[in-house]
Amino acid sequence: MLTQTAPNPFTIDSRTFEPAYLSLHRTGELRRRAEAALERLPHCLVCPRNCGVDRMADKTATCHTGRYARVSSYFAHFGEEDCLRGWNGSGTIFFSMCNLRCVFCQNYDISQAERGPEAPPQRLAAMMLELQKAGCHNINLVTPEHVVPQIIEALSIAVEAGLRLPLVYNTSAYDSADSLSLLDDIVDIYMPDFKFWDPALSLRYVKARDYPEAARRAIREMHRQVGPLKFDEHGLARRGALVRHLIMPGEIAGAEEIFRFLAQEVSPDTYVNLMDQYGPAGRVSDSQFVEINRRITSAEYERALEAARAAGLWRLDHRRSRRSQFWN
């Protein structure tokens, strides 16, 4: 007598998968969602900064972004996790400026020093379609927290024109509850960072004391919307949450507390990338940040791995060389 094997809860059949936003598009809800999102701009509360400026009139505050999103670059990116880059790359759109002020930001010239050209909705939609035509596996929105209304507006146009790729929301996790409610059933893959656990250190290094609270709230909601990360039969991520944590010198980020939160308050099945690529960048060379003006050690990385496993996390990202994966 043959016994049936239980289906893998972390897989999705690529033949039946479709991006979440298509269902909203068919009912007209995606267009209504775009209209509702734009109504947030005249008194902006799009992110936890709650600046309240009239961005529809091109007034700006922390993010230095008015009516239209600004885009620094867009291209097929092969530096992301294996499950996103695949063999054709992740269709990455780098938005200029940011609602955080990380002193160590590796994209400092994009996030804080360079505004980049404006991308009205038709142009932003065209970028998404160009990336799809190039064969990218997804649309990867980098630093999107401050331009959620503009993204949904452009997405509505792109879907009308044939966009069918999964949407990746690549965020610092400094997102507002209101923005995440607008993105429900739009985003397929949430990819939040969890940068710091301690409010005082968050104030010092990312200039937002409330960052840890906002990140915990955001990551819980992201997981509620999409669940644990799921892959298709080719190893490509299709839906779910992927959490990144950048390991910092001196273990100042609070990795142990962050991993315990993820395992106990989100899910032990949370897919986590422990990133080891920290290096001095941005303003780190300033004398006031001497304690993080170095790379991390192998011992610091190993302790972070041990902390993740001790917390009960088991789905840890492992990168493979491009030559050894995905070839059918």
Report the mean per-residue pLDDT for the chain.
Answer: 94
pLDDT of 114: 67
Does 320 score more than 60 pLDDT? no
User: Vertex 261, ends 266 and 215: CA angle to 5°?
Assistant: 80
| Residue ranges with strand state E in the chain | 69-77, 90-95, 118-119, 139-142, 167-171, 189-192, 230-231, 237-246, 271-275, 315-316
pLDDT band at 7 (very low <50, low <70, confident <90, very high): confident
pLDDT of 66: 96
pLDDT of 327: 29
The model's pLDDT over 262-274, given as tens digits with 9 standing for 90+, comes to 999 999 999 999 9
The model's pLDDT over 168-182, given as tens digits with 9 standing for 90+, comes to 999 999 999 999 999
pLDDT of 110: 81
Identify which of 190, 197, 227 has the alpha carbon closest to the alpha carbon of residue 213.
197
Domains along the chain?
A: 21-318 (3.20.20.70)
The model's pLDDT over 98-147, given as tens digits with 9 standing for 90+, comes to 999 999 998 877 887 767 899 999 999 999 999 999 999 999 999 999 99
Distance between CA atoms of 281 and 102, rounded to whole angstroms?
Answer: 10
Mean pLDDT throughout 283-306?
Answer: 95
The model's pLDDT over 202-214, given as tens digits with 9 standing for 90+, comes to 999 999 999 999 9
What percentage of the chain has pLDDT greater than the value 90?
89
**207: phi > 0 → left, psi -120 to 50 → alpha, else beta; which?**
left
Structure-derived torsion over alpha carbons of residues 205, 208, 209, 215, reported in degrees to the nearest 10 = -100
Please tell me the pTM assigned to this model.
Answer: 0.94
Q: Which amino acid is at 56?
A: M
Compute CA distances 179 → 34, 119, 144, 157, whole Å.
11, 20, 10, 19
SS3 of residue 76 by DSSP = strand
Does 46 score more than 50 pLDDT? yes
pLDDT of 113: 72
